Amino acid sequence: MSKAVVIGAGVAGLAASTRLAVQGWKVTVLEQAPEPGGKLREIRLGDYRFDAGPSLFTWPDLVLELDALVRSNHPDLPPFPFQQVDRSAHYFWPTGRRWIAWADPAARSESVDALWGPGTGERLERYLADSKAAFEATRPLFLESSLHERTTYSWERLKQVGRHLGRLPLLGRFHRRNSAYGLPDELVQFLDRYATYNGSDPMRAPAMLQVIPHLEHGMGTFFPEGGMVAITQHLLRLAERAGVRFELNTRAEAIEHNGQRVTGVRAGGRFFPGDLVVSNADIHPTYTRLLRDRVAPAATLERERSTSGLIFYWGVRRTFPSLHLHNLFFSADYAEEFDAIRRLGDPMEDPTVYVHISSKLEAGDASVGGENWFVLLNVAADPEHMTEERIAALKAATLKRVDAALREAGDLEPGEHVGDYIEVEDRLTPRDIEARTSSWRGALYGTSSNSPTAAFLRHRNRSTDLKGLYFCGGSVHPGGGIPLCLLSGKIVSDLVMENERVA
């Protein structure tokens, strides 16, 4: 039986390994950590459970599609339960304005008109309609296929893009595009935020990122029963049922080859033979550590990294009615914030703060009467910059920002502080992210999308140098985040089916 070795049990590695096993490959997954999931795992602190990494679940059909592949032969598989959330997030601005972005378009538009005046909701919905049109037009070509294969550019796919060419934001920058709909500054900042979904700067990112809001506001925001880690758990269950074998605590050391084709992977002092090797590791260490004897694609490896994150995990011994599952506390000046991240390494004293509280929907994630706060700040992918001094300063700035908003919302009395209620605490820095997931410099999404050609400059999914070598995960096409990682696993399996033979 033909053997495939997958390096890394992140979301893309789990998806690719499952699909390859269904195709008939004997698959072994090598994972350096003691558990699968990559960034999508959990931690527990006392009576509090936290999703350690990704916290937003969109496009659940991609998980269900993988589920259906395996379930056809294993109908007794446990279901993957999840619910659609009735809102995407609660937003807070330094001005004291607060807004709930409802999932229902009519309710969303009505709430926008109530806060910013009649007609504003209609303009926002027009923007979101254009987001949907751009997403549907480009999805088959740019998201669901490899951009680097001739077979991708079929006449049907090109015609679909052509039909919507007039509505596609092909030129310009994301912030400028968002500003063109006559929306108030606060809603432009709300839209600018979607550049951070792939670790980019809204002021420099291309206008084509307008496709991103549709995932959340057109397709919906969802929450898996058991928290985000339930996605990893279900993907692992699918892989195991499909026959995938896992070698945990096994760090890949080298991708072996005969000069023309891969022969397997050396890991943990052992050799794992493979007719096929799929690297779900970050593309940078894949070349610099696993393929040292091959010429690395210097232009790709030298490209600007995406942002990283400074994450605090706070077990808070009280509840806050004005908060929900996803919460955003915006900085006063987004352009200045991202300029500071680019030049100085972090947002200084005025960060935008994201707070994910899964206990709002999963009560068991926190102690009775408490909440589990996953707190994320955008910072540079620069492990050396994040010193203890900077961490302390950013924590203070975060608490100051959140205190002010919750006091304005009536959740805190004068003199009360969120910090007074933090019962347990942990953190994750760029250095930690790099050490635990091999993401170079702790970048959350590989390379940034701060150029108009960013989509084309991501590393391809199939090697042109070594036969039988493929790449998936957030650092290659189509990009980072749960949906795109799932798609990269599918792209790899499709390419394997086209180019390899299973014996």
**For the segment 385-418, what is each residue's pLDDT rounded down to a tens digit?**
999 999 999 999 999 999 999 999 999 999 999 9
- In a 13 Å sphere around the CA of 184, the CA atoms on its Cβ side amount to 14
Average pLDDT over residues 153-164: 68
Q: Looking at residue 362, what is its pLDDT? A: 97
Query: Domain-by-domain residue ranges, the chain?
Result: 3-42+57-83+225-303+449-499, 105-222, 306-435
Q: Is the pLDDT of residue 154 over 80?
A: no
Residue 97: C-alpha distances to residues 89, 102, 109, 448 (Å): 14, 16, 16, 31
Angle at alpha carbon of residue 124, lines to 121 and 128, rounded to 5°: 135
- With CA atoms as reference, report the closest residue to 491 among 475, 477, 474, 501: 477
Say which residue, 154 or 481, is predicted with more confidence. Answer: 481
Residue 142: C-alpha distances to residues 13, 342, 487 (Å): 20, 28, 11
Average pLDDT over residues 12-23: 98
Q: Is the pLDDT of residue 265 over 70?
A: yes
Q: Is the pLDDT of residue 31 over 80?
A: yes
Q: Is the pLDDT of residue 184 over 80?
A: yes
Q: Looking at residue 165, what is its pLDDT? A: 64
Q: What are 242's two structure tokens?
A: 């499909």
Q: Looking at residue 215, what is its pLDDT? A: 97
Residue with tokens 């397997």: 264
Helix (H) or strand (E) holding 44: strand 42-45
Confidence of residue 150 (pLDDT cuts 50, 70, 90): confident
Q: Is the pLDDT of residue 161 over 90?
A: no
Reduced to 3 states (helix: H, G, I; strand: E, B; else coil), residue 405 is: helix
Rounded Cα distance between 277 and 289, Å, is 15
61-71 helix and 229-241 helix, angle to the nearest 10 degrees: 20
Q: Looking at residue 456, what is its pLDDT? A: 63
Q: Looking at residue 300, what is its pLDDT? A: 79
Q: Is the pLDDT of residue 63 over 70?
A: yes
Average pLDDT over residues 483-492: 97
| Structure-derived torsion over alpha carbons of residues 41, 44, 45, 47, reported in degrees to the nearest 10 | 140
Span 450-476, pLDDT tens digits = 987 775 678 999 999 999 999 999 999
Q: Looking at residue 1, what is its pLDDT? A: 79
Please give the CATH architecture assigned to the domain spanning 3-42+57-83+225-303+449-499: 3-Layer(bba) Sandwich (3.50)
Q: Looking at residue 167, what is its pLDDT? A: 67
Q: Is the pLDDT of residue 242 over 70?
A: yes
- Concatenated DSSP letters for 187-217? HHHHHHGGGGGGT--TTTSBGGGGGHHHHHH
- Max mean pLDDT among 133-147, 164-178, 196-210 falls in 196-210
Q: Looking at residue 153, what is its pLDDT? A: 66
Span 301-317, pLDDT tens digits = 888 999 999 999 999 99
Q: Is the pLDDT of residue 158 over 70?
A: no
Q: 165 and 159 in contact (C-beta within 8 Å)?
A: no
Span 303-357, pLDDT tens digits = 899 999 999 999 999 999 999 999 999 999 999 999 999 999 999 999 999 999 9
Please list, in sequence order, all residues whose beta carbon lies within 8 angstroms of the beta carbon of residue 111, skipping any fewer than 6 positions away. 99, 100, 101, 102, 121
Q: What are 39's two structure tokens?
A: 């960034």
Q: Looking at residue 166, what is its pLDDT? A: 64
Q: What are the φ/ψ torsions at residue 398 (nearest 5 degrees)? A: -65, -50
Q: 295 and 259 in contact (C-beta within 8 Å)?
A: no
Work out the mean pLDDT of the chain and round it to a whole number: 95
Q: Is the pLDDT of residue 164 over 90?
A: no
Reduced to 3 states (helix: H, G, I; strand: E, B; else coil), residue 397 is: helix
Q: Looking at residue 168, what is its pLDDT? A: 79
Residue 345: C-alpha distances to residues 336, 378, 379 (Å): 12, 9, 6
* Lowest pLDDT segment from 144-148, 327-331, 395-399, 429-433: 144-148
Give the E-state strand segments of 275-420 in sequence order. Answer: 276-279, 308-316, 326-329, 353-356, 371-379
Share of the chain above pLDDT 70, in %: 97
* Buried b or exposed e, range 43-68, using 16+ CB within 10 angstroms: eeeebbbbbbbbbbbbbbebbeebbe
- With CA atoms as reference, report the closest residue to 264 among 282, 285, 246, 279: 279
Q: Is the pLDDT of residue 191 over 80?
A: yes
